[in-house]
Structure 1
């Protein structure tokens, strides 16, 4: 039986390689049918906002990779309600259908997974 993996993505898509690496891990694991979830926390929630122009910062657009997650079997997607609220974002306008969780729900989510990677 495969061990489940939760990837916690905490970096904005334009702040360095962490966001891309988290997506690469999720897509690779999904390709091998591993049970994977992704939690977008802190500045990581910026990855879920539509209409970004990463080329202005000489970065690659991650939206295609994000939208490929369900096709690779990565359907357990979560976003922190607190992180969204702190950044003036609304969970209803995200580019992915991510469950928005309160901070009190995060420990329970993390405990459901065998392994956790934070980037």
Structure 2
């Protein structure tokens, strides 16, 4: 059986390539039916902000990739509620409604459930 993999995305979508690379890894894992999860932590929660205009920042919009996650079989999606609150992000209007909001204690347990963890 394939080992489970958790990707922790900690970068804002406009701060460099890490946010896109995290999504690419998750989509590839989903395409190969790997047991994979995605956690948005720290500035990574900004990827879930609704109505972002990536063109203003001359970046490629990641929202289509986020919306494709369930189509690739990626259902284990999580967001750190504390990170969102620290950044003033309202998670009620987030672009990825399937993501489960976790408190800090739940994140430790989540990480322990996966065989391998990659942080970007």
TM range (shorter): over 0.9
Identify the residue that residue 42 of structure 1 maps to in structure 2: 42
Q: Secondary structure at the match of 1:105?
A: helix
Q: Secondary structure at the match of 1:21?
A: helix
Asked whether 1:101 is paired with 2:102, we answer yes
Query: Taking structure 1 as the reference length, what is the TM-score of the superposition?
Result: 0.98
* Structure 2 Cα separation of the partners of residues 91 and 54 of structure 1: 19
Structure 1: 4+ residue segments shifted above 4 A: none
The aligned runs of 1:26-105 (5 Å cut-off) are: 26-96=26-96, 97-105=98-106
Q: Secondary structure at the match of 2:47?
A: helix
Query: Taking structure 2 as the reference length, what is the TM-score of the superposition?
Result: 0.97
* Structure 1 Cα separation of the partners of residues 106 and 90 of structure 2: 18
**1:91 deviation in Å?**
2.1
Asked whether 1:18 is paired with 2:18, we answer yes
* Structure 1 Cα separation of the partners of residues 49 and 91 of structure 2: 10
Q: Deviations 1:62-98 (Å, cap 9, x if unpaired)?
A: 0000000010011100000110101111222111121
In terms of mean alpha carbon deviation, does 88-97 or 26-35 score higher? 88-97
Let me know the Cα RMSD of the aligned residues. 0.7
* Structure 1 Cα separation of the partners of residues 94 and 16 of structure 2: 21
Unaligned runs of 5+ in 1: none
* Structure 1 Cα separation of the partners of residues 50 and 5 of structure 2: 26
